[in-house]
Amino acid sequence: MSIINTENSYIKYYYNNDPSKIWREEGTDTSHMSVGGCTRKPMSFRNECVRSARALTSNYKDLTIFMSGGLDSEIALHSFMAAGLTPKLATVRFPNGANAHDINPMLEMVREMGLSCHIIEFDPEEFVQSEECYEVAIRYQAYSLYQQILLRVAEDYSAPMITIDEVELEKAPVINWDTGKYTIPWMFLKKEDQDGVWRRFNDKTGIPALNNFYTYSPESMLAFLQLPTVDDLINDRIFGKLGWTSSKMKIYAHTGFKFRPRPKFTGVENYMHLWNQVGYNVKKHLPHSPRGFIIPAIELRDNLIAGKESSCHIL
């Protein structure tokens, strides 16, 4: 049975205009992403999250949420609970409390909710110095240390799991190099590394390791884009913003779920030396640079409403 990443596979990543080709062979391969349109009117964003939680659990009964310590996974957990589901939880802990600042408050919250969280011990230092990270990089065409760690953990975990994505929005310049005219629109962003890599992992291992929660269905994505704060953001009515992350708490507040305000952590703050080391050396193992897919947010929203497909092609 094929793995269900998104509802009706409405998000696709592929190469050379061939939807069955999910592995990149050469630098000259073209990369493609398509996002299908809505087939129904979306509910509120909160209700869409609850619906996604139900749909994912219906697809994979024993689904484990990989908790990062961040807001995205916390809101996802609240959505599962609001759906009357008690998901399995897991998190990755680094030696000597290196990511305690990120995961401990989450573990505390989980305890208060009466849940338990399986802790997976992992040593990034050993993973990099043994060069195992590059084997993982080659195995799945994974470019960043963060993804390599998650993929290695997912191999051992070997059960249905989900790392929580986000509807990433960023203001990015679009230049017409022939005329010099440019715009800096808000873009919906997905990455060959962060997103496409899980499709390759599924293909190679057969393990249903998912990464689409907020983008599980076209309707959940549209409900997000229609939130008042997101609408203000993508129409440039909040001054001085280049990305969505600094408005994340305001955006997720629309769900009505209670969460603790917190500073933004990546969880790998104590491993930036490794991050840079891998970023530099991975080029010896993977000859291509990872590509980012972008679709103008307003165009995407309008296409979702109209039930039309949006696409992004890159060379």
Chain contacts with other proteins (rule: CB under 8 A): 25-28, 30, 174-180, 237, 239, 287, 294, 311-315
CB of residue 30 vs other proteins: minimum separation in angstroms? Answer: 7
User: Among residues 136 and 294, whose Cβ is nearest to other proteins?
Assistant: 294
Residue of 167, 213, 176 lying closest to 65 (CA atoms) = 213
CB of residue 34 vs other proteins: minimum separation in angstroms? Answer: 12
CB of residue 279 vs other proteins: minimum separation in angstroms? Answer: 13
H helix or E strand, kind and range, residue 88: strand 88-93
Own/partner pairs, 57-60, CB within 8 angstroms, 24+ separation:
57/83, 57/85, 57/87, 59/4, 59/208, 60/160, 60/208, 60/210
User: Among residues 125 and 302, whose Cβ is nearest to other proteins?
Assistant: 302
User: Among residues 114 and 239, whose Cβ is nearest to other proteins?
Assistant: 239
CB of residue 191 vs other proteins: minimum separation in angstroms? Answer: 14
CB of residue 275 vs other proteins: minimum separation in angstroms? Answer: 19
Answer whether 30's CB lies under 8 Å from 39's CB: no
Residue of 112, 61, 69 lying closest to 85 (CA atoms) = 61
Instruction: Output the six-digit token pair for 110.
Output: 């989980």
CB of residue 271 vs other proteins: minimum separation in angstroms? Answer: 24
User: Among residues 71 and 312, whose Cβ is nearest to other proteins?
Assistant: 312
Answer whether 204's CB lies under 8 Å from 313's CB: no
User: Among residues 114 and 180, whose Cβ is nearest to other proteins?
Assistant: 180
Residue of 315, 314, 300, 214 lying closest to 38 (CA atoms) = 300
User: Among residues 139 and 288, whose Cβ is nearest to other proteins?
Assistant: 288
Q: If DSSP codes are grouped into helix, strand and coil, which group holds residue 246?
A: helix
For 140, counting Cβ atoms within 10 Å of its Cβ (0-12 exposed, 13-18 middle, 19+ buried), the class is buried
